[in-house]
Amino acid sequence: MKGLTLTTLTKAKFLETTKQRVELLPNVKGFGDVWIRSVGEVKRSRRVSQLFDSSGNRIPDASARRRLHEVVDQVCVDEKGTPMFEESDIPTLEEIDSAKLDPLYLAIGLFNGDSEKNGQAASVDTNEN
């Protein structure tokens, strides 16, 4: 295997590669610059488990709040990843105009590398405020 450089995964490399990140997303339409943070594994697992009942059936009400949970879990106020919202804000967020949430939700999808949202986000202008 001449010319190939092989590296061995170390604990330090693993932890560095997988640590949570916080990034500033510039010019999200309707919102301006927005700080977004990645979701930790425990939070992600809890959110997924909340979507299903004990029999493994999807809970419609929980699924309906999925977008709001992404906003609560990922939108921050600063580069430290300080959350902008708390769980207690969900009832208030349920009343917002969903169309106005779309650009932010799509930007979160781009940040997360969500290919489904990436296709939709390509048609969303993120250069306007």
Q: Which residue range forms the structural domain that includes residue 29? A: 22-121
Return d(Cα 28, Cα 105) in angstroms, integer: 10
With respect to residue 77, please indicate whether it lies within any of the assigned structural domains.
yes
pLDDT along the chain (129 residues), means of 10: 75 90 93 94 88 90 86 94 94 92 92 61 42
Return d(Cα 118, Cα 38) in angstroms, integer: 17
**pLDDT digit string, tens, across residues 85-111:** 999 999 999 999 989 999 999 999 999
With respect to residue 8, please indicate whether it lies within any of the assigned structural domains.
no
With respect to residue 54, please indicate whether it lies within any of the assigned structural domains.
yes
Total domain count, the chain = 1
- Phi, psi of 63, rounded to the nearest 5 degrees: -65, -35
Q: What is the mean pLDDT of the chain?
A: 84
Q: The domain that contains 108 carries what CATH number?
A: 3.30.2220.20
108 and 96 in contact (C-beta within 8 Å)? no
Give pTM, 2 decimals: 0.71
With respect to residue 78, please indicate whether it lies within any of the assigned structural domains.
yes
Which contiguous run of DSSP H or E holds residue 90? Answer: helix 90-93
> What's the confidence (pLDDT) of residue 73?
95
With respect to residue 2, please indicate whether it lies within any of the assigned structural domains.
no
The amino acid sitting at 107 is: A
> What's the confidence (pLDDT) of residue 114?
66
Give, as one character, the DSSP assignment of residue 87: G
